[in-house]
Amino acid sequence: MLCFNLGRDADAEEHCQQLIRDFPEKAIGYGALADGLLRDSVHVVQDRAKVERAIHILQQAIAYPVEDANDFDVPLRLTKARKLLGTGSIG
């Protein structure tokens, strides 16, 4: 998240992807990547492609399934991301 906050999105995404590769059963990489992709779209969708990617990442976490999805509010994050695009369904 530090790299995302510093505007180093490519580095941040690579670190998150590495976390996902190294620990696919943990939600931290999926959640951090989704948060970084969504950070500019809190109330208004700034970049639809980033929101769609965040949704895909969160769906991957649920499908895996990660063992700590609820600890990282993965289902809630997915619901919020889908609401940004007007597709509120879960599944």
pLDDT tens sequence across 30-84: 999 999 998 877 656 678 899 999 999 999 999 999 999 999 999 999 999 999 8
> In this structure, what token pair is assigned to residue 87?
């597709």
Q: Note the pLDDT of residue 89.
A: 42
| φ, ψ of residue 30 in degrees (nearest 5) | -65, -45
Q: Which CATH number fits domain 2-85: 1.10.287, 1.10.10, 1.25.40, 1.20.1630?
A: 1.25.40
- Rounded to whole angstroms, how far apart are CA atoms 35 and 30? 9
Per-residue pLDDT tens digits for 3-25: 988 989 999 999 999 999 999 99
Q: Note the pLDDT of residue 44.
A: 60
Identify which of 63, 17, 47 has the alpha carbon closest to the alpha carbon of residue 78: 63
Amino acid at 14: E
Q: Is 20 helix (H, G, I), strand (E, B) or coil?
A: helix
Q: Note the pLDDT of residue 42.
A: 65
- Rounded to whole angstroms, how far apart are CA atoms 52 and 22? 23
